[in-house]
């Protein structure tokens, strides 16, 4: 760059700064502005930065006054912009009134996952992940039955895109946002996002099989992107989400204050972010957006109820879900098995969509609490320290009614409003307690009888919350 050009850039930047700075005479006697906090990134994109502004400041106008050319302007999940900056511009931006922080942009990615060869479509009974979230304990019963199908809920897939034409989606997958700028309009050219979407809402491999899917493409054909693009995707969803809605984010990277803030803001805007914990066998609290407040962070378990060898772990994990040898949609058609917390998270996002379909006004915190309250505790083995031993298992919840007060010893019966009970021993869950019962079911619905097991104060007491009439049933 010539000296003349450098002077021109300096003059333009200083002129822009003068639009919001004190007069020359005042600044000469006043203190030097304190630079806004600066956050480095472990895997930074050279020369690119994410600028956060005070909520009272117009981000687009600030960028214009500073003669910057932002790649993204954020309005909802973050007030700010992403832009390339020279060293001098970075110094000026940090001293600009209204700027609250500047962070280096960083590489975001979906780590390469080992996968099995493509297979012919399998029945849901052969998809062990769905089977596992449909029951409390092993062995699997080769069944996947849910109450509801997610119809009316929109699941936003923050990923590499979706193969819209795949048979799994039946026209329910549409374009929302694309941060990559390559003219693909959310169409997947990697395969990761299609697999994830298939687990959330595919007709064969999905949990919520009638939910709508929206592609929020923030990673390219090589599975790579930038934090600035991820934030842009979160910002777009925060502004444009069709409620009831959930979001799945099976992606991430090193910890970022700004990215975490954007994920939290999405939750505050009413959309629950379900996030993969990551596949580096390390503390998820060192990963973003897995470490963000307000998200549901999901680690991966295997078919033997063990924490997988690759899964991130730690106190930032809320739940485990199946994440090894998970069969779902393959880009271009058919199916493929893949491994990763990327495969675990969409199981939980699908369950969240089922809950949201029945409780369309439920806030993210309510959904998160319900997921935790209806999961199975203390089940996994080979689990890392400080990681909640909680497996997502609420997908098959049904309802029953009862007509009388139930004591700890008295015979009782319930009227079952589901058809997936069979003769033998089943388990009823009430406020995280389990009562094993024996009995039979005749026809569609009918009487399920047994003896209430002893418990503190008895189960199903009159005046319980909820009142006699409805409760959770898990065969």
Task: Specify the pTM.
Answer: 0.78
Residue 68: which H helix or E strand, with range?
A: none
Does residue 124 or residue 230 have the better pLDDT? 230
pLDDT of residue 179: 98
**What confidence tier does 211 reach under pLDDT thresholds 50, 70, 90?**
very high
Across 464-475, b (16+ Cβ under 10 Å) vs e yields beeebeebbbbb
The residue from 288, 342, 368, 384 that is catalytic is 342
Percent of the chain with pLDDT over 70: 71
DSSP 354-414: HHHHHSTT--HHHHHHHHHHTSEES--BSPPTT---EE---TT-EEEE--S---SSSEEEE
C-alpha dihedral sign at 204, 206, 211, 215: negative
- Active-site residue flag, 192: yes
Q: CB count, 10 Å around CB of 309?
A: 12
Residue with tokens 């805007």: 269
Q: Is the pLDDT of residue 136 over 90?
A: no
Of 163, 295, 174, 178, which is closest to residue 233 (Cα–Cα)? 178
Structure tokens at 127: 């998809």
pLDDT of residue 365: 95
Contacts of 454 (CB under 8 A, 6+ apart): 408, 409
For 170, left (φ over 0), alpha (ψ -120 to 50), or beta?
A: left
Mean pLDDT of the chain: 78
pLDDT of residue 442: 32
**What confidence tier does 290 reach under pLDDT thresholds 50, 70, 90?**
very high
Which residues make beta-bridge pairs with 408? Answer: none
pLDDT of residue 372: 86
Q: Is the pLDDT of residue 78 over 70?
A: yes
Q: Is the pLDDT of residue 55 over 80?
A: yes
- Active-site residue flag, 115: no
Q: Is the pLDDT of residue 282 over 60?
A: yes
Q: Is the pLDDT of residue 295 over 50?
A: yes
For the stretch 307-332, pLDDT in tens is: 999 999 999 999 999 999 999 999 99
**What confidence tier does 405 reach under pLDDT thresholds 50, 70, 90?**
very low
The span from the CA of 414 to the CA of 402, in Å, is 5
The residue from 71, 105, 131, 159 that is catalytic is 159
- Active-site residue flag, 382: no
Of 111, 208, 97, 123, which is closest to residue 160 (Cα–Cα)? 111
The residue from 192, 313, 347, 459 that is catalytic is 192
For the stretch 332-391, pLDDT in tens is: 999 999 999 999 999 999 999 999 999 999 999 999 998 888 777 777 776 776 666 555
The span from the CA of 321 to the CA of 343, in Å, is 8
pLDDT of residue 144: 82
End-to-end alpha carbon distance in the chain: 72
pLDDT of residue 29: 54
Q: What is the DSSP letter of 207?
A: S
3-state secondary structure labels for all residues of 428-458 = EEECCEEEEEEECCCCCCEEEEEECCCCCCC
pLDDT of residue 397: 35
Q: What angle do CA 222, 242, 362 make, to 5 degrees?
A: 110
pLDDT of residue 18: 31
Q: 226 and 152 in contact (C-beta within 8 Å)?
A: no
**What confidence tier does 111 reach under pLDDT thresholds 50, 70, 90?**
low
Q: Is the pLDDT of residue 186 over 60?
A: yes
Contacts of 130 (CB under 8 A, 6+ apart): 124, 144, 205, 207, 347, 395
Structure tokens at 165: 């034409």
Min mean pLDDT across 75-79, 186-190, 200-204, 415-419 is at: 415-419
Percent of the chain with pLDDT over 90: 61
């Amino acid at each position: 760059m010539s000296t003349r050009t450098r002077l021109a850039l300096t003059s333009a930047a200083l002129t822009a700064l003068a639009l919001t700075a004190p007069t020359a005479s005042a600044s000469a006697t006043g203190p030097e502005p304190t630079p806004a906090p600066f956050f480095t990134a472990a895997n930074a994109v050279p020369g690119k930065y994410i600028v956060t502004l005070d909520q009272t400041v117009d981000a687009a106008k600030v960028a214009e006054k500073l003669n910057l050319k932002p790649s993204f302007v954020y309005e909802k999940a973050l007030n700010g912009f992403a832009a390339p900056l020279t060293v001098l511009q970075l110094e000026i931006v940090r001293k600009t009134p209204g700027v609250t922080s500047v962070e280096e942009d960083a590489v975001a990615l979906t780590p390469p996952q080992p996968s099995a060869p493509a297979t012919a479509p399998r029945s849901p009974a052969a998809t062990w992940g769905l089977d596992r979230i449909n029951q409390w304990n092993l062995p699997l019963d080769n069944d996947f039955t849910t109450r509801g199908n997610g119809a009316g809920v929109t699941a936003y897939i923050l990923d590499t895109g979706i193969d819209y034409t795949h048979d799994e989606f039946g026209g329910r997958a549409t374009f929302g946002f694309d941060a990559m700028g390559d003219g693909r309009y959310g169409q997947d050219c990697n395969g990761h996002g299609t697999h994830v979407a298939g687990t959330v809402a595919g007709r064969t491999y999905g949990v919520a099989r009638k939910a709508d899917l929206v592609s929020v493409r923030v990673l390219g054909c090589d599975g790579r992107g930038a934090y600035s693009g991820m934030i842009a995707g979160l910002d777009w969803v925060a502004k444009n989400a069709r409620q009831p809605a959930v979001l799945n984010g099976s992606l991430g990277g090193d910890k970022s204050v700004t990215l975490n803030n954007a994920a939290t803001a999405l939750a505050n805007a009413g959309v629950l972010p379900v996030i993969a914990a990551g596949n580096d066998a390390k503390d998820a609290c060192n990963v973003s957006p897995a470490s963000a407040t307000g998200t549901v962070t999901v680690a991966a378990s295997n078919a033997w109820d063990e924490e997988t060898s690759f899964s991130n772990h730690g106190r930032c994990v809320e739940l485990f879900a199946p994440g090894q040898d998970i069969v779902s949609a393959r880009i271009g058609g058919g199916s493929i098995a893949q491994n990763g917390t990327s495969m675990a998270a969409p199981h939980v996002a699908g369950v969240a969509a089922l809950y949201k379909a029945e409780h369309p006004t439920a806030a993210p915190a309510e959904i998160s609490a319900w997921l935790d309250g209806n999961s199975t505790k203390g089940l996994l083995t080979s689990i890392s320290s400080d990681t909640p031993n909680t497996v997502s298992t609420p997908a098959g919840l049904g309802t029953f009614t009862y007509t009388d007060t139930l004591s700890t010893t008295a015979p009782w019966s319930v009227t079952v409003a589901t058809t997936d009970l069979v003769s033998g021993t089943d388990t009823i869950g009430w406020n995280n307690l389990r009562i094993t019962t024996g009995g039979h079911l005749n026809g569609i619905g009918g009487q399920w009888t047994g003896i209430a097991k002893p418990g503190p104060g008895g189960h199903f007491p009159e005046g319980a919350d909820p009142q006699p009439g409805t409760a959770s049933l898990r065969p």
